[in-house]
Amino acid sequence: MPMGAPGPTVNLLDRHIFKSTLATCAAAVGIFAFVLMTGNVVRDLIGPGLSGQLSAEAFGRLVLLLVPFVFSYALPMGMLTGVLLTLGRLSADSEVTAMRAAGISLPRIARPVIILGALGFLAGLPVNFEFMPRARVQYDRELTAAVRANPLSFIVPKTFIRDFPGVVVYVGEKQGARLRDFWLWRLDGDHRVTQFIRAASGRVEYDEATNDFIITLSQAQVETRSDRNPEDFTEAQPVMTFAQSDPVRLSLNRLFGRTGIRQKPTWMTYAELRREQARLAAEKVPPGRRKENAQAQMKVALVIEDKFNTALAALTFAVVGVPLGIKVSRRETSANLGVAVLLALGYYLLTVMIGWLDRHPEYRPDLLLWLPNAVFLLLGAWLFSRIERR
């Protein structure tokens, strides 16, 4: 065998480390994706599902559309966790020590893990720039369409409904469009009651043109309070009684807009982001709106850099995870998982803090977004050098 050529033992070790890390990373990505998906399902889908607004088929399809969204965040965290678990176990079992005693350097041991991290980076790019934006827009479109198909299901009996702006509604009983024991509280900006309505019965209709509920009440009592001090009860509050009241309109624009699709820069594909950048750059802006235009351009630039850096985090976490896993040398899953979560939280906290500078383009937050990956790569290089000197 020529001097310096990789022998069969080294290739076998490469495959062993690669397969072990791949399996552990895949399991960790699945766990993090499940946790993130559960949060989104509880926030967006459980309510409409329980109220009958979503069929079982629509619910399942919407859950699947969440997969690219949660995968973009679960991949870097799963990569870090998988590397820490695999290298921590190999180090605790003295396998890393045996490899180094056989003349295999630490960078050579880390090579299959770095390759896996690079593959994760390459997989993250199309997910962040194509699959996730398309799935997120489709998710919003289908959820809005399902809710619009049965808007009356928003009114759930024996529940305080707080989804309408400035209003709290309670309905004792609902039979189709007929309501019984209807209560309504109008609130000011400080959440103080300015008007109270109670009716024995009523009827609700949906006005698709204005995206409003129109509720006509029978046998209604209306109590109006002072706008300046609604909580002042020293004076008697006027109470009016109506056999049939004027229609009460409740806007659904907070729940779903008229178009059904709220396009955001984070939901745009790479081509759409570039077109938006070109549009903003070519826009003729009067002097008074130049700062606003610069902020809009910076927001788009931040989205592009953030998507790229989120994908790059898979490789960055793999680099820092190798020496850290060897240094920690623990077999315990909980300990390594805790280290991974803390590191990931630190990374994302730094990213969020830089994102707060989107209103200050002069600080170039789009370039500062490279700082978290740079810091972690330097940390990985420093840890590598420390272990190599041991």
The one-digit pLDDT tens for each residue of the chain (390 residues) are 444 445 555 688 888 889 999 999 999 999 999 999 999 898 888 877 776 777 888 889 999 999 999 999 999 999 999 998 888 888 888 888 888 888 888 888 889 999 999 999 999 999 999 999 999 989 988 887 777 777 777 787 888 888 788 889 999 998 888 999 999 998 887 888 888 889 999 998 888 777 788 889 999 888 887 777 777 666 656 778 888 878 888 887 766 654 444 568 888 999 999 999 999 888 888 888 888 888 889 999 999 999 999 999 999 999 998 888 887 655 555 566 677 778 888 888 889 899 888 888 888 999 999 999 999 999 888 888 887 776
pLDDT of amino acid 152 = 74
* pLDDT for position 256: 61
Decide: residue 287, CB within 10 A, 0-12 exposed, 13-18 middle, 19+ buried: exposed
Show Cβ contacts of residue 164 under 8 Å, excluding neighbours closer than 6 positions: 250, 251, 252, 254
pTM of the model: 0.74
Q: What pLDDT score does 251 carry?
A: 82
Closest CA to 342 of 321, 327, 323: 321
**Spans of all domains in the chain:** 8-149+288-388, 164-251
Q: What is the pLDDT of residue 2?
A: 46
How many helices (H) and strands (E) in the chain?
A: 12, 7
Q: For 160, phi and psi rounded to 5 degrees?
A: -80, 115
Report pLDDT for 306. Answer: 93
Q: What is the pLDDT of residue 51?
A: 67
Angle 138-140-145 from CA coordinates, rounded to 5°: 95
Integer Cα distance of 65 and 139 in angstroms: 6
Q: What is the pLDDT of residue 258?
A: 46
The span from the CA of 122 to the CA of 114, in Å, is 12
Q: What is the pLDDT of residue 332?
A: 52
Q: Strand locations in 177-285, DSSP E?
A: 178-187, 193-207, 212-224, 239-244, 248-251
